[in-house]
Amino acid sequence: MYSGSCLCGAVQFEIKGQISQIVHCHCSQCRKAQGSAFATNGIVASRGFKILSGEDKLTAYESTSGQKKYFCKICGSPIMSKSKSKMDQVRIRLGTISSDVTERPMAHIFVTSKANWEDICGDLPQYESYEPGR
């Protein structure tokens, strides 16, 4: 089980189950949403994701049709995104997880959109768009 929160602690959540398909996304939307070079996201089952407190402190932005990004309206921390086409999944921002994450990232995606000042290091595969199989 994992626990997590936003920066101010108003939104607290837990995850029961594994985190899958962890990727570093370099697309312009993720860069802007994070205010950084990339966003590290992972998939959790909706049934295993629970807001413990502060659900009323979450607000959403529909970044693309059918997909909403949720963040704390007090501190602005991005928490997760949900897609109408994949209601059984929550895409969690790994930086909000307080527990040690045992699963590891599998790839860098949308590397052709990366910030020009960023150098990607390491041995993870790099893809021009989504990783194969998605």
pLDDT digits over 75-91, tens only? 999 999 999 999 999 99
pLDDT in tens, the chain (134 residues): 999 999 999 999 999 999 999 999 999 999 999 999 999 999 999 999 999 999 999 999 998 899 999 999 999 999 999 999 999 999 999 999 999 999 999 999 999 999 999 999 999 999 999 988 87
| Structural domains present in the chain | 2-113 (2.170.150.70)
* Confidence at residue 84, expressed as pLDDT on a 0 to 100 scale: 94
Who's near 77: CB < 8 A, 6+ residues apart? 6, 7, 8, 11, 71, 93, 96
Q: What is the pTM of this model?
A: 0.92
- Residue 63 has a pLDDT of 86
How far apart are the two ends of the chain, measured CA to CA in Å?
25
Of the candidates 24, 27, 34, which has an alpha carbon nearest to the alpha carbon of residue 120? 24
